[in-house]
Amino acid sequence: MIRTVLVKLLKTSPLFRLVLIPLAFIIFAGLFLVIDVLAHKKPELHLLEPAIAQSGEVVVIHGDHFGTSPQDNWVEISGDRLSANTILEWEPNRIMVLLPETVQDGLVYVATGAGKSNPLIFANRSNIPVRNVVQTSITFPEITGFNTPRVETGKRLVISGKNFGLSREDSRVLFTWQLDPAIPLSPQNRISQSTIPCSETLFEYEFWSDQEIRVRVPDGAASGSVYVQTSRGLSNGEPVQIINQPGKKLYSDQRTYTVSLNVDITNIAAEDGNMLLLRIPRPVASATQRNIEITRSEPAPYLENYRGMIFHQFENLRPGRTLSASHTFLVTVYRVETEITANQVRPY
């Protein structure tokens, strides 16, 4: 019935037709505006890493809705818009900037065509007064800088600092790892889940001293913070940019497997006062195979993990005795998704 009335009005009333056309235009324009607002969200800032820095250092801005490039977008610190040549990397959820000499304390914003983000507080280290503090007996490792803030995968990175230890032993250098954002991070294990260590089997540790470490950047490393982990604790994170990559790798589809390893030694021939040192390799840690844990060992090892090996020490073995050792591991494995940038692939 309503349809009949509307059709009749359209045919007989010029005034109704005159009012209906602008009304329809307003409705369609409103729908278009709503769709446009929903599609272009304002940028959101979550974290500055680090929040305290000084000119010449690199700061990573984490958040969402930044867009894919700095074109028509910008970063503002303490009311000053950063120039394009200070933007080292711009991604939808991360921006890496090189702080200019004129940087001051203040609020950090990211602005796009959709609007201006929420602010985060930045502090210039050179403006912070320093108070002398008595050194405690526990000295955590500390990174003070790198030989370069930009490095390629497989190239040497020299880490300067203090309290690294005179020798490496079980210490590690950790690089940021590009995990699928859909995989949740545990607050307790955030660092171990979002980083990748240098490989011992690929000889990526070249030199280790108390104030300098030289390593090769491991496969799977992404732009972000680098840490040094020793028996005394975890160092501060310092950002580094991984450059000249022919694309991106994303690690997803997390799966956990149980791996059992058994060793039997038979027909032992030995004399009194003997000792046997048995070395058993652990599952290899890599960018796709991580978080390796021992859930069962029989017998208990002499050393659970020394440079990728489990050590058992047996003494006073009797001739003819059968010797056994077994271990069960939990291994987390990820699928690799690659996105190749053709113009970044260099000839071999």
44-127 and 142-245 in the same fold: yes
Q: Report percent pLDDT > 90 for the chain.
A: 41
Most confident stretch, 83-87, 141-145, 246-250, 339-343: 141-145
Gap between the Cα atoms of 282 and 42, Å rounded: 48
* Residues 296 and 262 sit within 8 Å (Cβ to Cβ): no
Which range among 17-26, 81-90, 198-207, 243-252 shows the weakest confidence by mean pLDDT?
A: 17-26
Residues with Cβ within 8 Å of 210's Cβ and at least 6 positions away in sequence, in order, are 162, 163, 164, 165, 166
Gap between the Cα atoms of 244 and 241, Å rounded: 10
Roughly what angle, to the nearest 10 degrees, separates helices 2-12 and 14-39?
120
pLDDT band at 26 (very low <50, low <70, confident <90, very high): confident
pLDDT of 106 strictly over 80: yes
Predicted confidence (pLDDT) per residue in 311-325, tens digit: 999 988 888 888 999
Strand, coil or helix: what is 70? coil
For residue 32, which phi and psi values (nearest 5 degrees)? -65, -40
Question: Which fold is adopted by the domain 142-245?
Answer: Immunoglobulin-like (2.60.40)
**Burial degree of 240 (CB within 10 A; 0-12, 13-18, 19+):** buried
Predicted confidence (pLDDT) per residue in 264-282, tens digit: 999 888 888 888 889 999 9
Give the end-to-end CA distance of the chain in Å, rounded to a whole number. 76
Map out the domains of the chain as residue ranges.
2-39, 44-127, 142-245, 253-339
Predicted confidence (pLDDT) per residue in 194-220, tens digit: 888 998 888 899 999 999 999 999 988
Predicted confidence (pLDDT) per residue in 168-180, tens digit: 888 999 999 877 6
* Whole-number pLDDT of residue 321: 85
User: What homologous superfamily is domain 44-127 in, according to CATH?
Assistant: Immunoglobulins (2.60.40.10)
Site of tokens 């690199």: 58
